[in-house]
Structure 1
Amino acid sequence: MDSLDTMRAFVAVADAGGFAAAARLLGLSPPAVTRAIAAIEERIGTRLLQRTTRVVRLTEAGTHYLVDCKRILAEIAEAEASAAGSHGEPAGQLAVTAPVMFGRLFVAPLVFDFQARHPRVTARLLLVDRVVDLVEEGLHVAVRIANLADSSLSAARVGWLRRVVCASPGFLAAHGVPVRPGNLEGRDSIAFGGGVSPPGWSFPVAGRTETIGVAHRLTVNTADVAVAAAVAGRGFTRVLSYQSAAEVAAGRLVIVLEDFEPPPIPIHIVHPEGRRASARVRAFVDYAVERLRAEPSLQ
């Protein structure tokens, strides 16, 4: 095998979790795949895989090598497609990640419609409420709701989100409408976060930040549950504006303290390949940017 074939064999073993499964995928014998991996390890002088009778695991060096192999093989495939004249037609797998609720409401419909326009594109959509390393997890595009730090990622801002405090009309009628952040002190609330109640809610007041000690009667780790609890009259909750938009529009929640909201949070589409991005990634990014910038609830 040449260097590229041995790279393909290594990727197959890593993805399949074993030599026999990789051999079946590649149409080779297990001894041929074993020799290919041994040749790589001898050539670069380090162990890439830990082998036991039951499982094959990547070493630390193997993990880094796998990322590089996948990148190199993808670039070669893209170069061959370009030489064949198919570079401009979106095709192949598109892997996208986004926060769970935002992904369900906005990104999944984008992916569905994009595939309808480009039937040669297959898609993988990873919805998680954490920052994902695109290269390490084999992803092409991410939606990030945050102020971005400097990085090598290409980014396009597509909108803004407010952080809003809201409650049900019935709760406000029973307990009063707050007119300043201090009115929330000790009031029933629903905390939305990583499962640990925050010490309080911070607001910009007269040029400084004021932290209010609200009473978190319920702490949840998903925004939809926090919103549902607020609709049920369990107290105030603080979420991003899109997360409560449907209930606000239906009159089941009311936003309060709008004059004391922190600066809005930007929404970005990011991807790691810049101008070298494949046709499918460039096409999806352009499509997603146009669609999200036209969404009134994100502006």
Structure 2
Amino acid sequence: MNLFEAMKVFVKVAEVGSLSGAARILDLSNPSVTRHIADLETYLGARLLNRSTRRLSLTDTGSAYLERCRQLLADLEQATLAAGMHAANPNGVLRINAPVSFSVNHLGRLLPLYAQRYPNVELDVTLSDRVVDLVEEGFDLAIRIGKLQNSSLVMRKLAPVHVLTCAAPAYLEQHGVPQHPDDLARHACLTYAYTMPDNEWRLQRDGKVHTVRIGGGLRCNNGDLLLAAALAGMGIIRQPTFIIGDAIRAGKLLPILTDYRSDQLAIHAVYPSRQHLSAKVRTYVDFLAEQFGESPEWDRDLPI
């Protein structure tokens, strides 16, 4: 028995004073209405209605139960409406996991814009370059960069990622400009610890992949620190344009080996499920896709 459905039928029968009248209003058959009332009385172990050939009336138990049913059904309707409004209107705490350098350089400036547009959402952002377990660690979504492994997570592309190889003018003047990927093996290359393997760089040209074993005086898990070291002339850096773009435009870093491309990468928003997607997640992902797109501002005037 569907208890709430039986309660709705009972309330309507009591209001119209007729089983057949309730059946017409509820678009049910007469036997279906009769069965709902009988099942409800059996469930309660009490008679709710007195029936005769001429009239139908409530028992004392039925009268008391009717008021409780009306209140419960009204509360259920309000709860349903509230849940629907909650799902349709962004609100509550949105827990986001995102990589450090990208967030500091580009995500942070957008947080006020989203907050102004959706003031009922409270943003809780955790920065980490490791791959977190969204469900186990309680995140609503994550921003991830690179090639993503197949998983049960839903992925939406936010922007392309271009990687350039570059160095400070002073470094290149002292050590020379590499003309071929193999030349990198003889240079100090500043490596990112989360690249696997972190002692190899892959560069492509005309469909041919050049894999170069590199080394140098610095290995780090943060792109901004690698940028600072490259600006200081410590070695050659190979990082995304969202980290190094401003330094290249300012002439503080010079791109090298620009005819050679990196693997195709992208920035994605990932979240656990597309089904019953909350408004706070949906609006935030839509917002980032709108702000970044296929031609993000960090790629402006760069040799990509």
Q: Is the pair's TM-score, using the shorter chain for normalization, greater than 0.5?
A: yes
Q: 1:131 to 1:186 in 2, by over 3 A?
A: same
Tell me by how many angstroms 1:112 deviates.
2.6
Structure 2 match to 1:155: 155
Which residue in the other structure is 1:81 paired with? 82
How far, CA to CA, are the matches of 2:207 and 2:144 in structure 1?
28
- Counterpart amino acid of residue 296 in structure 1: E
Using the size of structure 1 for normalisation, the TM-score is 0.67
1:174 corresponds to which residue?
Answer: 174
Structure 1's consecutive aligned runs of 4 or more residues displaced over 6 angstroms after TM superposition are none
Which string of whole-angstrom CA distances, capped at 9 and with x for unpartnered residues, describes residues 38-95 of structure 1?
xxxxxxxxxxxxxxxxxxxxxxxxxxxxxxxxxxxxxxxx966334x44332110111
Distance 1:196 1:88 in 2: 41
CA distance, structure 1, for counterparts of residue 242 and residue 152 of structure 2: 28
Report how far residue 96 of structure 1 moved.
Answer: 0.9
- Partner residue of 1:74? none
SS at match of 1:203: strand
Give the drift of 1:254: 0.9
Task: Compute the displacement of 1:200 (Å).
Answer: 3.4
Distance (whole Å) between structure 2 residues aligned to residue 285 and residue 195 of structure 1: 26
Percentage identity across paired residues of the two chains: 31
Counterpart Cα distance in 2 of 1:79 and 1:104: 40
The change in CA–CA distance for 1:214 and 1:153 in structure 2 (over 3 A counts) is closer
Give the AA of the match of 1:182: D
The amino acid of 1:265's aligned partner reads: L
Aligned partner of 2:102 in structure 1 is 102
What is the TM-score with the length of structure 2 in the denominator?
Answer: 0.66
Give the corresponding residue for 2:277.
Answer: 277
Which residue in 2 is equivalent to 1:140? 140
**Is the partner of 1:148 in helix, strand or coil?**
coil
Q: 1:198 to 1:151 in 2, by over 3 A?
A: closer
Contact kept? 1:178, 1:257, Cα under 8 Å: yes
Deviates more, 1:177-186 or 1:122-131: 177-186
Counterpart position of 1:125: 125
Going from structure 1 to structure 2, the CA distance change for 1:297 and 1:214 (only over 3 Å counts) comes to: same
- Is the deviation greater in 108-117 or in 191-200? 191-200
Task: Name which one, 1 or 2, has greater alpha-carbon Rg.
Answer: 2
Question: Structure 2, unaligned stretches of length 5 or more?
Answer: 1-78
* CA–CA distance in structure 1, aligned partners of residues 158 and 197 of structure 2: 31
- Report the number of matched residues: 221
Kept after mapping to 1: 8 A contact 2:166/2:255: yes
Contact in 2 for aligned 1:193/1:221 (Cα 8 Å): yes
Q: Is the 8 A contact 1:161 1:241 kept in 2?
A: yes
Q: Judging changes above 3 Å, is the alpha-carbon distance between structure 1 residues 222 and 148 closer, same or farther for their aligned structure 2 residues?
A: closer
Displacement after TM superposition at 1:230 (Å)? 0.8
